Structure 1
Amino acid sequence: MRIENPSIVEHLGSVRLQGIRRMLELDSGTQKATPPNVAGQTQLIEREAIEAIEKRMAIVLPVKNEDLKVFEGVLSGLPHDCLIIVVSNSKRSDIDYFKSEKDIVDRFCQATNRRAIVVHQKDPFLARAVEKSGYTELLDEESYIRSGKSEGMLVGILLCGLLGKEFIGFIDTDNFIPGAVWEYSKHYAIGFSLSRSPLTMVRILWRYKPKMLGELYFKKWGRVSEVTNKYLNHLLSTKGRFETEIIKTANAGEHAMSLNLAMRLTYASGYAIETQELISILEQFGGMEPLADKTLTEKGVDVFQTETINPHLHEERGDSEHLYQEMLLPSLSVIYHSPICEESTRKLIYNQLVELDCIKPDEEVPRIQLFPPPQKANLQRMAESLDSQMEDISVPRGWLLGEKGTPKKSSVEARKVVYTDLDGTLLHPLSNSYSQALEGLRHLQEKKVPIIFCSAKTLAEQEILRKELEIRDPFIVENGGAIYIPKEYFRFPFSYNKSAGEYLVIELGASYAEIRQRLKMVVETGGCKFTAFGDIGTEEVARYTGLSLQQAQHAKDRQYSETIIITGNQRDKDLTLDAIHREGLHCAFGGRFFEVSLGSDKGKAVKILNELFKLNFDEIITYGIGDGENDISMLNSVEHPLLVQNADRHWGKVKAKGLVKIKGIGPVGFSQAVKQSVLNLA
């Protein structure tokens, strides 16, 4: 696909508001390069980039008593790889519209090999789950989910978080043109692929909104949008020296967000939700209020506005009174009552509402109910409450329980979890070979027992081993600096710090830069004798370690720790270690080198993974296999600690409750531990 470059970008604090970007080609072919005569004017987005986003995106379809044929057409327009989330508030009395909607989704998914989640806003189990999560603002006085489009969208955001998707899009289900639905989804994916920020929003401007006026008339603007855009732009103009008309999508029902952003915004009830989203972005990140999370906003917030090629044709919903009272009044109210709104803008809004008979001349502008950011909700508790309903809300029935990497809770074989050190345990302390551990590894893989690497090795080093050994379970890097969990591995959601490629990452340790800075302070105190891997080249690391140049480079690619070599006699080593500890750093000896970290700990990482496995597998039995002092915290965090022999056929000085000493050096001991203690095969 090919899209225009933005002609203008407005900056407000950390927010980048892009002007309208027109879609030029829905299919730009297989060419990879942009012709020189249009370079700088357009951007070509390759199919692979769009498809990669779609696999990580959910599309939420709020529906209420829509024409079933139109609803079916909307489904057919959604890209195949997007997860479908239907949130219905349709009638369930004499005629059960919701049952018909779910039947249509079921037939569609069966015929097209698609997957969907279908819920009704008034389902009691859904309300209980929301209540358990602590997000009680979403409930009415009878403890059901509140009625309203906004409330249905919030349900969709929570479900998207539960299912671990990174992006969420919204599409109205009254759209007569399936091709437009398809195009909206592509616009969302394009925006996310172009953004370099984890906080991104994409808002759709319809090229035309046709109306029947004796003949089909292609109208450029909706009535409400024209007015709301006007006053939102006036608000922005008061924040600088120049007028702006950058906002063209104040009431964009079709829009999408990164889940990182969606979970942080404040939302308004009813039809004010789309305008309130922009207001919330400006309030939080526009620089007029203190930033809640400066680290998060370093890359800014990107707001894309894109214009479609397809027109938007839907059923007309009513007269001017409906539009003004139910749509315009709430939209202008959230601008009017925002703490960033200037008095001049308030006066203009007030006069406009009086002129349109939305309020009386002496009447206050009513406040619209606001909902706090969804990140307030405890998704883990919500997931636990929904567990018994997962089979029913997934379409086709039960697909959610059969996801690869997310075993059913009844899976007895998956209850055992094995954590293992690498250097000196799975890998031979002298040859660095894992060949003698293959027997034990294959036994575990045959029984589908998760194998969790817990090592000082880096992400790059561990990924090579995982690929060679065909291990696809979570793993712990740099002595507990971070936990890497393959996306969609766990059925239930969890808190994580970032998404990196195919992983969700829980970061526990301080950054490499901070550790290096503190080590620099240690050096400045004088009397310390050590060499850090970050201070020497790859060839020198290779000489110290015996690794190949490529392996040495991977060993240097650290994010949460630094490897050091302490020189001198024992007194020199003790002085150096004392100085390192005084800077608040932790220093662990791995047999040949010291690993310096801050805030990370193997045991802490193991405990976090234990809780995630318990949530997804119910009861678990944990085993830890290590060889020395660097494994003590890991071994003390499992039920069955197992210690293999080191190179001189002795066991390391390790104390752990219930410790079992296994005969066999490194990988030999590993295989013996698996057969003897984990699987009872010996």
Structure 2
Amino acid sequence: MRLIFTSLDGSLLDIESNSYGAARQALSALERRSIPLVLYSLRTRAQLEHVRQQLRLEHPFICEDGSALYVPEHYFPAGILDEQWQYQPPYYVRALGLPYSRLRSILQQVRQDSHLDLVGFGDWTASELAAATGIPVEEAKRAKQREYSEIFSYSGDPETLRQGFAQQEANLTQHLLQLRQLHLSSPPQKWYLTGWTQPAMTTEPGFLPGERAVRLLLDCYQRHLGTVKTLGIGCSPADAAFLRWMEQKVVLPSPIADSLWSEAEPQWQLAQLPGPEGWNEVVLTWLEETDHGDE
């Protein structure tokens, strides 16, 4: 059995046009072979559902930087998903992150206590968000349907911001906050906030919270199908969460790919072409190399 994990922005989707057109050949090849394509993204469930509909995908996906896994009902046989998965038709859902309402409360508290100018997606209407980010209003509506993360703008000192959230984290019980800058965003700087229960963390050096979601899903596939050959394709630091667990790891060239290599191991590969063009080439090459394997 073969399986692919991929990021979207700058990988399968062109960073400027949001198009996957250059990857059509590889996508068709995967569909003909019934090879699952798992999307891992910082985007919301609503945004990923829209992409999955365009791509005609019916496989599991991981949203909001590993905060939740969505498995279509009837995808795995009985016994693969345990009682920690919640049935929310048409999915079984495994939530790993703090609820959006809790994150919004934390953001508001930091804003008040530290006197910082923080403006989150939850503070804007869809029209205001579209105007501020340059995305279509319909996409802004999907981006606002957040469940486990918040994106907000802040132009001040990053260390002051981190101290404000560290103070709020100290008040949490069995939860940790993760705060990261989003690259390739126009001023003011965008930040991405998520929260995690303690079991999602480990003392293992370099462990990323989103890795728990990847490991849970891989375990489901392995218990269902046995040995799984895996390919991971990414282009940004967030993609290390799934790349580290793939048998073959490929990084597509991008303005922020260099920072991803801080997580890299010797067997990681750098593709020749960026974006969906590179994605198409990587997948077709991998299929050619593995088509005569032990499936």
Q: Does 1:579 align with 2:164?
A: yes
Post-superposition CA distance 1:239-276 (Å, at most 9, x none):
xxxxxxxxxxxxxxxxxxxxxxxxxxxxxxxxxxxxxx
Work out whether residues 2 and 36 of structure 2, in 8 Å CA contact, stay in contact via their aligned partners in 1: yes
The answer to whether 1:667 aligns with 2:279 is no
Assess if the C-alpha contact under 8 Å between 2:11 and 2:252 holds in 1: yes
1:129-528 equivalence runs, <5 A:
415-493=1-79, 494-495=81-82, 496-528=84-116
Q: CA deviation at 1:552?
A: 0.2
**Which sections of structure 1, spanning at least 5 residues, go unmatched?**
1-414
Q: Compare CA radii of gyration and give the structure with the larger one.
A: 1
Per-residue deviation, residues 458-497 of structure 1 (Å, max 9, x unmatched): 1111111111111100001111111110111012421244
Amino acid of the residue matched to residue 625 of structure 1?
Answer: I
- Greater relative contact order (Cα < 8 A, sep 6+): 2
Letter in 1 for 2:235: D
C-alpha spacing 1:590/1:575, structure 2 compared with 1 (3 Å): same
SS in 2 for 1:675: helix
2:243 to 621, 625, 635: 635
Q: Does 1:548 align with 2:136?
A: yes
Task: Note closer, same or farther for the CA distance 1:474–1:663 as it changes in structure 2 (3 Å cut).
Answer: same
Q: Which residue of 1 aligns with 2:145?
A: 557
* Contact 1:457/1:478, CA 8 A, preserved across alignment: yes
2:252 aligns with one of 630, 636, 644: 644
Residue correspondences, number: 263
Q: Kindly, what percent of the aligned residue pairs are identical?
A: 27
CA contact (8 A) 1:454 1:602 kept: no
Give the TM-score of the pair, scaled to structure 2: 0.83
The 1:589/1:669 distance shift into structure 2, 3 A limit, reads farther
> Does residue 141 of structure 2 align to residue 533 of structure 1?
no
Question: Partner of 1:620 in structure 2?
Answer: 228
Query: Which of structure 1's runs of 4+ aligned residues deviate more than 6 A?
Result: none
| CA spacing shift, 1:627–1:678, aligned 2, 3 Å | farther
Rounded Cα–Cα distance in structure 1 between residues aligned with 2:152 and 2:61:
23
SS in 2 for 1:479: helix
Contact conserved, 2:110 with 2:164, CA < 8 A, in 1? Answer: yes
Q: Does 1:653 align with 2:260?
A: yes
Is the contact made by 2:235 and 2:256 (CA closer than 8 Å) also made in structure 1? Answer: no
Compute the displacement of 1:650 (Å).
5.9
How far apart are residue 581 of structure 1 and its match?
Answer: 4.2
In structure 2, what residue type is equivalent to 1:576? L
How far does the alpha carbon of each residue in 1:273-325 deviate from its partner, in whole angstroms, 9 at most, with x for none?
Answer: xxxxxxxxxxxxxxxxxxxxxxxxxxxxxxxxxxxxxxxxxxxxxxxxxxxxx
Q: Deviations over 1:378-420 (max 9, x none)?
A: xxxxxxxxxxxxxxxxxxxxxxxxxxxxxxxxxxxxx111111
More deviation in 548-557 or 601-610?
Answer: 601-610
What is the TM-score of this pair, normalised by structure 1? 0.37
Q: Deviations over 1:165-199 (max 9, x none)?
A: xxxxxxxxxxxxxxxxxxxxxxxxxxxxxxxxxxx
* In structure 2, C-alpha distance between the alignment counterparts of 1:581 and 1:456, rounded to whole Å: 22
Letter in 2 for 1:595: Y
Aligned amino acid, residue 225 of structure 2: F
Change (3 A) 1:531 1:472: same
Matched, 1:605 2:183: no
Contact 2:73–2:89 under 8 Å retained in 1 = no
Match of 2:191 among 594, 608, 620: 594
- Can you give the 5+ residue segments of structure 2 that lack an aligned partner in the other structure? 170-175, 201-208, 291-295
CA 1:538 to 1:639, structure 2 compared with 1: closer, same or farther past 3 Å?
A: same
Asked if structure 2 preserves the Cα contact closer than 8 Å seen for 1:527 and 1:576, the reply is no
